[in-house]
Structure 1
Amino acid sequence: MAENSSTGSALPPSFAEIVDDFHALALKDRLQLLLEFSRELPALPPELAGDHTGMEAVTECQSPVFVKVETGSTLADEARIYFDAPAEAPTTRGFASILATGLKGLTAQQVLDVPDDVPQRLGLAEAVSPLRLRGMAGMLARIKRQVREGTAA
């Protein structure tokens, strides 16, 4: 994991790269990058598409977003994370896509080790409302809870 010089907390390389990409841009361009992420949210697998049964609603988000985590039985197993967020909610969708990208391929333990302040590290606090950042933090908290529950089963 890469160190983040501002907090000293370790970030997985995938997240460190995303944070660096955001900080390399002016504020208005960061919003454009967030919109680009919104267009790159991976589609749900067929067994989840169109049916939120088995997915968890993230009530902290202003728009309807759902998340599901699949893990193996140990913390060393890969965590697979799926999101569903409407196209007409680009900020929420962008945050979901950032999490999907940053967490892809990580083990359950690596997901649990991701610092909770990742949403604040993106440098978007001046551009989006605190409510929106809390929504992304809510997504991450639900992911971590689902990982803990999945590996404890």
Structure 2
Amino acid sequence: MTASVNPFGISITADDIVENLGFFDSWEDRYRYIIDLGRELPAMPAELRSDERLVRGCQSQVWIDVSEEHERLQLSVDSDAFIVKGLLAVVLAALNNKSPADVLAFDINAYFEELGLMRHLSATRGNGLLAMVARIRDEAVKRSKPQ
């Protein structure tokens, strides 16, 4: 996977997240790391926290704004729950600043499996995470150029 500047202002990839989580022995420590990633996300402007950007199917309130710059998706996200903001950071490491085609080609389920993430989330939280990814993928489909 290629590195891209993510919302934290540094280069981090999905591979980096996998490697960093591998350093921790317990899921409690991994959750702390994920929450810390979420704390590094820039604040979403209040005017973007609208009903049209609200992701349905999430236990917490989650907003996702997708714009496009230079044929790459730019994601702005927010949530009212620390762990969810962290999960959004994990997703952004994989999908932000990617072309719509790259977003659609990325195997997010394999990524989550490699992280062991879905096994350690409640069913409700896991469904919410998948709803967030589905929203981003839907936006990628809308912006995809025919081959």
Provide the C-alpha distance between the structure 2 equivalents of 1:28 and 1:111, rounded to a whole number of angstroms: 29
1:35 paired with 2:35, answer: yes
For structure 2, the residue ranges without an aligned partner over 5 or more in a row are: 3-11
For structure 1, the residue ranges without an aligned partner over 5 or more in a row are: 3-12
Q: Specify the SS of the correspondent of 1:79.
A: strand
Among candidates 87, 90, 108, match of residue 95 of structure 1: 87
Compute the TM-score of the two structures, normalised by the length of structure 1: 0.74
1:52, CA displacement in angstroms? 3.1
Among candidates 135, 141, 147, match of residue 142 of structure 1: 135
Instruction: State the identity %.
Output: 25
Letter paired with 1:103: L
- The residue that corresponds to 1:65 in the other structure is 62
Larger relative contact order (Cα-Cα within 8 Å, sequence gap ≥ 6): 1
Number of residue pairs aligned between Structure 1 and Structure 2? 135
- The residue that corresponds to 1:80 in the other structure is 74
Is residue 71–residue 108 contact of structure 1 (8 Å, CA) maintained in 2?
no
Is residue 70–residue 150 contact of structure 1 (8 Å, CA) maintained in 2?
no
Among candidates 88, 97, 101, match of residue 105 of structure 1: 97
Provide the C-alpha distance between the structure 1 equivalents of 2:118 and 2:139, rounded to a whole number of angstroms: 27
Bigger fraction of residues in helix: 2
1:20, CA displacement in angstroms? 2.0
Is residue 78–residue 107 contact of structure 1 (8 Å, CA) maintained in 2?
yes
Letter paired with 1:144: R
1:42, CA displacement in angstroms? 2.3
Coordinate RMSD, CA, aligned: 2.6
